[in-house]
Amino acid sequence: MLRSTLGRFLARIAVAGALFAAGAAQAASCPVHYLDGRPPEIRNQKLAAATRELCYGVFGVVHSGVTRTPLWSAEYVRADNLKRAQGLERDDKFHAEQRLPRGQRAELSDYARSGFDRGHLAPNANMPDRRTQRESFSLANMVPQDRDHNRHIWAPIEGAVRTMARKEGELYVITGPAFLGASLKKVGNVIVPSHLYKVVYSPRQKLAAAWFTENRADAPIHVVPVAELERIVGIELLPSLSAKEKERMLRLPKIKQRKNRS
């Protein structure tokens, strides 16, 4: 049912190819967020329809008008920004992204009473000031996320990245959803990802690796090479690296999953 719905939606987007071309042409508009200034490259063309790049202060996203979620967020995570973020009181002002067409963006009403969290891709705790904090609460930076997954699996992964960044000084991070299988769900008009991933590249070590996990409570956390993840999601996530470099593994911290207390 959902697959046919997606097909009808894609058929109605007559300008999808033009929108993707425009997004690709603008990909260098916030190069600081990407390793060597090169954003991910979509290989599975089913993902390419109605995409738009959105640049923010310390992160950027490429948004899909089909799923009404980001396809990825990109961050250049610096230790000095994380130091500025410490102690900054969280201000939960979720909002629809006004730069996106109404018929292609998520609305607050999509998530209302859905049972899913509005899950950040670029985490609020990485934001160094009030402006960037507000930007992180754009729904263009959100995916529908299982509540227990968000709190007990994803939050420890985000914390591990911050710990790494403080030690390394800087990291490039790509975070995104995967839409795998034929039984995807929707909340309102927004498609729920089956999986989530977080790619981490260390400029100091010149190595990368990724966490990959299902979007459900108590899901196991897998650590995979970037090359494997790219094959799974249909996106070349670190295009400036060679195939051999993508097979080499950065050592990621082991995640201690918090127990589900619900």
pLDDT of residue 88: 84
Mean pLDDT of 110-122: 97
Task: Report residue 258's pLDDT band, with 50, 70 and 90 as the boundaries.
Answer: low
Q: How far is residue 224 from each of residues 41, 157, 181, measured CA to CA in Å?
A: 19, 14, 20
**Mean model confidence pLDDT for the chain:** 89
Residue with tokens 């470099």: 245
Architecture of domain 2-247: 3-Layer(aba) Sandwich (3.40)
What pLDDT digit, counting tens, does each position of 66-105 carry?
999 999 999 999 999 999 999 888 888 999 999 999 999 9
Residue 144: its H or E element:
strand 142-146
Strand stretches in 2-68, DSSP E: 41-42, 51-55, 59-64
Instruction: Flag whether the pTM goes above 0.85.
Output: yes
Residue with tokens 């201690």: 256
247 vs 183, residue with greater confidence:
247
Mean pLDDT of 209-223: 97
Task: Report residue 256's pLDDT band, with 50, 70 and 90 as the boundaries.
Answer: confident
pLDDT of residue 13: 37
DSSP characters for 197-246? EEEEEETTTTEEEEEEEESSTTPPEEEE-HHHHHHHHTEES-TTS-HHHH
Q: Are 195 and 214 in contact (CB under 8 A)?
A: yes
Q: Which residues contact 96 (CB under 8 A, 6 or more apart)?
A: 105, 106, 107, 108, 138, 139
Q: What percent of the chain has pLDDT over 70?
A: 87
Nearest to 34 by CA among 90, 69, 67, 72: 72
The DSSP 8-state label assigned to residue 150 in this structure reads I
pLDDT at 204 over 60: yes
What pLDDT digit, counting tens, does each position of 184-201 carry?
999 999 999 999 999 999
What pLDDT digit, counting tens, does each position of 24-59 carry?
434 447 999 999 999 999 999 999 999 999 999 999
DSSP characters for 24-36? HHTGGGSGGGSGG
Domain residue ranges of the chain, discontinuous segments joined by +: 2-247
Q: What percent of the chain has pLDDT over 90?
A: 83
- Interatomic CA distance for residues 216 and 61, integer angstroms: 23
pLDDT at 121 over 60: yes
Mean pLDDT of 120-147: 97
pLDDT at 9 over 70: no
- Interatomic CA distance for residues 116 and 186, integer angstroms: 10
pLDDT of residue 89: 82
| Catalytic residue numbers, as ranges | 120
Q: Is the dihedral of CA 99, 17, 23, 41 positive or negative?
A: positive
